[in-house]
Chains A and B, each alone.
Chain A
Amino acid sequence: MLYVYGVVRARDGADPDLEGVGHPPAEVRLLASGSIAAAVSTIPEDLVIDETAARAHLQVLIGLLDQGPVIPLRLGTIAGDENGVRAEILDAAGGAELAQRLDSLDGLIELHVDADDDEAEAIAAVAAAAPRPTFERLDLESRIAVGEQVASLLIAHRQGLADALLRQLRPLAVRDTPRSVINGAEDPVLRWAFLVRADDVSRFDETVMGIQANYPSLSIRYVGPLPAAHFVDWDASITQEQHTDSFTGSGKWGW
């Protein structure tokens, strides 16, 4: 049986030392057909897809990215044999589209920037604008109302910070997208993915370092280069079909 990690361009090749899923880690190889190739490894039938496997899967994708663009396959995708991989991925109708998508991602990598504030500090920062009644005398309902106002001030405060960070980072990215919905009173400042030209990564690095210096109250996490998972666009209609429970019986591509 074969575990399938992702699809790359055949000519880009892969590092022979990539370590795949399983214990001990399986050797990863490329299975090519035409211009594209699938990164696969032989796995035992009792392979368990757990956290270690998820991390190994991602590490293989990151390793492949060293050589060129990568389209990640869903964690846990396995095939019976090489013919299965060729028939269902490489030589299937979607194979030509995969080749196009890979070319469109050439020279681009994904970077993640996350920002969190300290809640106590953030509340202190917005407190000047918050109502300051004599707290001890307030009944429960009034206290809730005070907290509600603080919550809306906090959300606005974080939104302002996020806008300021995005104003600096967006000009250096080809595209960008939020990685989670952020609109609650206990949500972080930023969870964002950026699609960046490899040539611009050092400028992006400098900008992130500048942000860290200018916003010492923010805890910034900066991760990459990652495969452009958040920017592999598929036909919206196909994507929608993927989320319905109807089974049409024909092979389809989607998220």
Chain B
Amino acid sequence: MTVAMHSANRAPRPSSLADVLDIVLDKGIVIDAYVRLAVVGIEILTLDARIVIASVDTYLRFAEAVNRLDLQPQEQATGLPGLVNELQESGAKRKTRGALAGVRDTAAEVASSFRGGEDEEEEPAEERRAPVKRAAARPRRRRSAEQES
């Protein structure tokens, strides 16, 4: 299967880390094999500055934006109440950023579990796996929950 890779505007791969992780972390299949395979622990830290979706400051920002459409000339906008301006500033640059911030276990730690006794392996493997799932799910889930509220 060969697909033309060179299109005027089609990028061969996602640029943002969030989109990369969407494919290799959220959608990659997990093989639950507790003896000979492991998923190295990965901690995803989401620096999430979004406070509450569609919050009061969002509404005020929108109201201000509509109001500004009417104001001619522009200088009159300075007469707006300070509250609106402050909220607007705080709400203007909110972005959700995801980052791989740390690693729970290095491959070496997993490797040592491979070398360990059979009886010790099941429990540590499960402990390692659980945080990976939660960490992977957290950023999206939280975002969705906010949006639904």
Contact = CB atoms under 8 A, between A and B. Distances in A.
Interface of A: 1, 4, 6, 43-51, 54-55, 57-59, 61-62, 65-69, 71-81, 83-85, 87-89, 92, 94, 106-107, 109, 111-112, 119-120, 123-124, 127, 130, 132, 135-136, 140, 143-148, 150-151, 154, 179-187, 198, 201-202, 205, 208-209, 212, 220-227, 229-230, 232, 234, 242-243, 245, 247, 249, 251-255
Contacts of A136: 79-80
A147 B60 contact: yes
Q: Is the interface of A mostly helix, strand, loop or mixed?
A: mixed
Interface of B: 1-5, 7-14, 17, 19-42, 50, 53-54, 56, 58-67, 69-70, 79-80, 83-84, 94, 99-100, 103, 106-108, 110-111, 114, 122, 126, 130, 132-133, 140, 143-144, 146-148
20 contacts: A4-B37, A46-B108, A47-B40, A65-B1, A74-B30, A75-B28, A76-B40, A77-B30, A77-B37, A78-B38, A80-B114, A84-B37, A87-B33, A88-B33, A144-B59, A180-B143, A184-B53, A222-B11, A224-B10, A227-B23
A226 to B, nearest CB: 6
A88 B30 contact: no
Contact of A201 (B3, B65, B106): B3
A184 B7 CA distance: 32
Contacts of B36: 79-81, 83-84, 87-88
A144 B56 contact: yes
Contact of A120 (B9, B39, B65, B147): B65
Contacts of A84: 33, 35-37
Contacts of A50: 100, 103
A54 B63 CA distance: 41
Nearest to B141: A181
Contacts of B79: 136
Given A76-B40, A198-B3, 18 more contacts: A6-B28, A43-B107, A48-B107, A49-B103, A51-B17, A51-B99, A54-B21, A55-B20, A58-B24, A72-B29, A75-B25, A75-B28, A88-B36, A106-B1, A182-B147, A208-B10, A223-B10, A225-B12
Nearest to A87: B36
A78 to B, nearest CB: 6
